[in-house]
Amino acid sequence: MASNSTTSGAGKTILVTGGSGFVAAEVLNAFLSRGYNVRTTVRNDSSADKIKKSHSKYINQLSFAIVKDVQIPGGHDEAVKGVDGVVHTASPFLLQVEDNERDLLLPAIKGTTEVLASVQKNAPNVKRVVITSSFASVVDVSKGNRPGYAYSEKDWNPTPYEVAAKKDAPAAVAYCASKVFAEKAAFDYVKEHKPQFEITTVCPPMVYGPSGSVVTNLDNLNTSAADIYRLMNGSCKEVPETSFYGWVDVRDVGEVHARAFESPEAAGQRYLTVSSGYTYQKICDIIRKDFPEKRNLVPEGTAPYPDVYTLDNSKVKKQLGVEFRSLETSIHDMVVQFIEIEKATGKA
Ligand code: NDP
């Protein structure tokens, strides 16, 4: 997708929650490049300092608010004051936790409703809140690979809360449920409280590509970047089984958030924000082809593309006018970034 550097945002301020995140870094870029002032919430000063470095080009448009936990009642009351729009990205994307309810479900769900409550109470100018949801909120994993089925915005993950909250439920199940309950809670909030704003939800599957976030430690990547880095650092001896057959570039996800904010048509909509299907086999093939120096660390396989569901991106393309980057471009650029970080951190 071509980068959009209009000045549609001049004079307006957007609050982005969770600015330290992998996805948020590109949400920041999409709004900053349009001329918006962006205030972002972080949990501590050290996260703010990292964002000041990664987004130094826009330092005069950036400000910060410390919110130690997204689910604190009234926690965003100050942060939302004076803003013209809100993008809520902060939510745990973790696949190893101690307690599914405490560590995944509650921060996602309460975090979302608390942000909305703060906006309703303290930010009268906000007419649109964009929420980062996920394909996790769409997919029905109990149906397996569903050959021939095309997931769309009409689908909702049907996992019951009690199943996801169980101590022994896999964290991946709880994470997916955290996204569907948070997204439903947001639509329910609007129905029940009739606030001054409308919401739009963005539902990406796995998000890859180079993010503008500061990475100082390749052993501590966010979940989706780690998902790719393991394929090129020697830790996978065989091509792993693919978990979700859909992906999108992080830069395109940032762009979709900005378009979802600006588009009148996006009010009350959800957007399945996907480039295409993929497998880890395809990704390994791209890395092996483009980076011969890494070939001995990348597993080699021959598995053909399986007969699995597809993800329908026609609505986001039509209504928001987006074109998505290809898997080849995204993975190539991401690996270039990993190699730069390896060199900078002495891991090369
Ligand atoms: P990251 O782990 O990089 O970012 C998560 C962000 O949420 C961080 O800013 C983190 O803050 C913040 N956060 C998490 N829990 C809390 C909390 N309890 N209180 C305050 N802040 C919190 O993940 P991603 O960038 O990948 O994910 C961002 C969003 O995108 C999430 O909503 C996720 O569900 C969604 N998403 C991501 C996909 C992906 O493949 N990456 C796919 C689909 C959706 P801190 O840095 O301080 O921990």
- pLDDT, one tens digit per residue, over 237-293 is 999 999 999 999 999 999 999 999 999 999 999 999 999 999 999 999 999 999 999
Given the residues 50, 179, 237, 347, select the one marked as catalytic. 179
Contacts of the segment 277-280: beta carbons below 8 A, 24+ positions apart? 277/245, 277/246, 277/247, 277/305, 277/308, 277/310, 277/311, 278/206, 278/242, 278/245, 278/246, 278/247, 278/327, 279/242, 279/245, 279/303, 279/305, 279/306, 280/231, 280/239, 280/240, 280/241, 280/242
The predicted pLDDT at position 2 comes to 43
- The full set of domain ranges for the chain reads 13-209+245-276+310-325
Which DSSP category does 276 fall into? B
Q: Encode pLDDT of 292-312 as tens digits.
A: 999 999 999 999 999 999 999
CB atoms near residue 100 (< 10 Å): 23
The predicted pLDDT at position 6 comes to 60
Which DSSP category does 266 fall into? G
Task: Report residues whose beta carbon is within 6 angstroms of any ligand 1 atom.
Answer: 18, 20-24, 43, 47, 69-70, 89-93, 107, 132, 134, 179, 204, 206-207, 222, 224
Phi–psi pair at 129, nearest 5 degrees: -120, 125
Instruction: Work out the angle between the directed axes of helices 106-122 and 171-193 (0-180°, nearest 10).
Output: 20
Residue of the CA atom closest to atom 43 of ligand 1: 134
122 or 3, higher pLDDT: 122
Contact of 172 with 335, CB cutoff 8 Å: no
Catalytic residue list contains 121: no
Query: Which ligand 1 atom is nearest residue 23's CA?
Result: 25
DSSP 41-110: EESSHHHHHHHHHHTGGGGGGEEEEE-S-TTSTTTTTTTTTT-SEEEE------S--S-HIIIIIHHHHH
The predicted pLDDT at position 8 comes to 86
The predicted pLDDT at position 333 comes to 97
Query: Which ligand 1 atom is nearest residue 135's CA?
Result: 43
Burial degree of 297 (CB within 10 A; 0-12, 13-18, 19+)? middle
| Residue 294: alpha-carbon gap to chain centroid | 28
The predicted pLDDT at position 10 comes to 87
Q: Which of 169, 202, 215, 179 is nearest to 47 (CA)?
A: 215
Residue of the CA atom closest to atom 7 of ligand 1: 90
Question: Mapping DSSP to helix (H, G, I), strand (E, B) and coil, where does residue 208 land?
Answer: strand
What does the pLDDT average to over 1-11? Answer: 66
Residue of the CA atom closest to atom 33 of ligand 1: 93
Query: For the domain 13-209+245-276+310-325, what is the CATH superfamily, name and number?
Result: NAD(P)-binding Rossmann-like Domain (3.40.50.720)
Q: Encode pLDDT of 85-138 as tens digits.
A: 999 999 999 999 999 999 999 999 999 999 999 999 999 999 999 999 999 999
The predicted pLDDT at position 1 comes to 52
Pocket probe for ligand 1: among 17, 20, 23, 220, the residue whose CB has the most ligand atoms within 8 Å is 23
The predicted pLDDT at position 3 comes to 45
Q: Encode pLDDT of 157-195 as tens digits.
A: 999 999 999 999 999 999 999 999 999 999 999 999 999
Cα–Cα distance between 79 and 139 in angstroms, integer?
Answer: 33
Cα–Cα distance between 247 and 130 in angstroms, integer?
Answer: 20
Query: Which ligand 1 atom is nearest residue 24's CA?
Result: 25
The predicted pLDDT at position 64 comes to 98
Q: Report how far ligand 1's centroid is from the alpha carbon of 89 (Å).
A: 6
The predicted pLDDT at position 266 comes to 98
* pTM for this predicted structure: 0.97
